[in-house]
């Protein structure tokens, strides 16, 4: 009976059996949920003066959860989006426990009654074509390391791939060196193990072809300078380091996801329809891709404003137009 109260066994079943085996959620989701409880358990342990290993399920009380959410915002300086993400993990755990133990339905209802905060949407950051080309020009392609870094940056721009998709890429996922009118292709494994294919530009094909020479099909495509598979942190560090050397990007926060946004915006500006961009990026819903349409509308609005400002003015000022009142009364 005591085992059903202990928090530890429930967390193990939730993070290993439920998240991975039953739901088949992404590895990053599992890590995010794990990070939530890595922060939550010591916080509650300190509040009720009880070792984390001895915590019960119902020690995750609604009042403690609310205090924890306030703590990560006020003391840890996290954003509202991060606060809501942590709450999502806790609610998911409560729902999991209640589905296996109906006696805790009331506790689950109290946890799930905690509301998310409304957060202002984050502005989409992206780069112009000149800025993207300047970023690609940073690696020294006269060296093997520079050519590898250039290939990775170009691949992210070409495909709009997520970091996890790029780091998991294997040689067998590439179809390059095809003859005739067959384009080079890459097969990407995205969120929820969803598979999609993206065409590769000739320069991307050439850069990758040089990179994977003498490698087996099961080998990673992108290797760090230590000849090991790139990590998520390694890709972020590469992008940040290269962006710092571009004057127009040095003061901005440039991440691999900004390159993904850049790829989508450039496709839209080139006249590619939203549904094709959705498939290109691996979005499940078209609503996610619509954010890029809003960016394009802003560009069009600025262009319209410029055209309007350049329009010729009437020969006579408004006050001299004697027929304006008659015109308004006639409507």
**Catalytic residue numbers?**
162, 191, 257, 260, 283, 292
**98-103, Cβ contacts within 8 angstroms, sequence gap of 24 or more:** 101/4
Q: Among residues 59, 77, 67, which one has the least CA distance to residue 114?
A: 67
Rounded to whole angstroms, how far apart are CA atoms 263 and 257?
Answer: 10
Structural contact between residues 210 and 171, judged by C-beta atoms closer than 8 angstroms: no
Dihedral angle, C-alpha 278, 279, 285, 289, nearest 10 °: -10
Rounded to whole angstroms, how far apart are CA atoms 132 and 205?
Answer: 18
Q: State how far the alpha carbon of 326 is from the alpha carbons of 226, 319, 330, in Å.
A: 80, 14, 6
Q: Among residues 226, 250, 255, which one has the least CA distance to residue 238?
A: 255
- C-alpha 223: how far from chain center: 22
């Amino acid at each position: 009976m005591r085992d059903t109260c202990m928090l530890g066994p429930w967390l193990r079943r939730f993070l290993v059996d439920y998240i991975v085996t039953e739901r088949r959620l992404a590895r990053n989701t599992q890590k995010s949920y794990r990070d939530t409880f890595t922060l939550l358990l010591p916080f509650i342990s300190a509040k009720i003066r009880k070792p984390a290993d001895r915590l019960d399920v119902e020690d995750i009380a609604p009042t403690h959860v609310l205090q924890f959410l306030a703590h990560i915002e006020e003391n840890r300086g996290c954003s509202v989006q991060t606060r809501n993400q942590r709450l999502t993990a806790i609610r998911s755990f409560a729902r999991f426990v209640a589905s296996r133990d109906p006696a805790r339905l009331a506790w689950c209802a109290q946890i799930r009654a905690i509301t998310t905060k409304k957060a202002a949407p984050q502005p989409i950051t992206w780069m112009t074509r000149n800025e993207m080309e300047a970023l690609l020009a940073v690696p020294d392609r006269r060296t093997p390391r520079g050519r590898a870094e250039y290939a990775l940056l170009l691949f992210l721009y070409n495909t709009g791939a997520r970091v996890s998709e790029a780091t998991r890429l294997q040689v067998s996922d590439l179809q390059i060196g095809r003859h005739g009118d067959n384009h080079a292709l890459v097969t990407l494994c995205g969120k929820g193990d969803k598979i999609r294919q993206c065409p590769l530009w000739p320069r991307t094909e050439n850069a990758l072809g040089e990179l994977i020479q003498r490698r087996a099909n099961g080998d990673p495509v992108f290797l760090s300078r230590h000849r090991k598979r790139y990590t998520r942190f390694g890709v972020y560090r590469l992008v940040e380091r290269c962006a710092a050397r571009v004057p127009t990007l040095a003061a901005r926060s440039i991440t691999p996801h900004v390159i993904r946004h850049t790829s989508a915006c450039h496709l839209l500006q080139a006249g590619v329809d939203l549904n094709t961009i959705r498939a290109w990026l691996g979005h499940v819903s078209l609503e996610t891709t619509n954010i890029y349409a809003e960016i394009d509308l802003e560009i069009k609005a600025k262009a319209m404003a410029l055209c309007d400002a350049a329009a010729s003015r009437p020969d006579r000022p408004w006050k001299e137009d004697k027929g304006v009142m008659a015109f308004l009364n006639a409507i």
